[in-house]
Structure 1
């Protein structure tokens, strides 16, 4: 499981130019079953994505395809988490089986 931090850069004013492409990128991530959650970092710092069902390398490629990343509107950091304990509602995230 991964958390992707998308922090605004000094080019954040360009976000409007690439918003439709960024929204399409998000929609594709959900359609592909990779994104579990997408949200804003408050206050106005960027966004975050929780992703699963792919490798680090596959996620890195997907993140690089985000127009916000490609156009340097945000910088991306991918954080990998290996769950050690899960609430039963999140059992589908357990990859230890």
Structure 2
């Protein structure tokens, strides 16, 4: 599982101009079962994405398609961890679920 910390490197006006394309990118990854949560940070200086059921190499390739990355508007810090405890009722996708 991964926590992806986006830090904006562009001006908010540039972020806003690319936001629709970024959201379409997110929608595709949610539909593919890769991303399981996403949203802006408070204050709005970036965002957080949670990803599961994917290897790091494939995740890096996916992130390289994000319009924020393509337009050099954000930097990504990717943190991998193993979810050892989950809240009751929370079921995370497994690698076999995403195939």
**TM range, smaller chain:** 0.7 to 0.9
For structure 2, the residue ranges without an aligned partner over 5 or more in a row are: none
Unaligned runs of 5+ in 1: none
Contact 2:14 2:73 in 1 (8 A): yes
Q: Which runs of 4+ in 1 moved over 4 A?
A: none
Q: Does 1:50 align with 2:46?
A: no
Contact 2:33 2:93 in 1 (8 A): no
Shift of 1:27: 0.5
CA distance, structure 1, for counterparts of residue 26 and residue 69 of structure 2 = 13
TM-score, structure 1 normalization: 0.85
Residue correspondence of structure 1 range 23-62 to structure 2 within 5 A: 23-62=23-62
Once the two structures are TM-superposed, the CA of residue 67 in structure 1 deviates from its matched residue by 0.4
The two structures have a TM-score, normalised by structure 2, of: 0.84
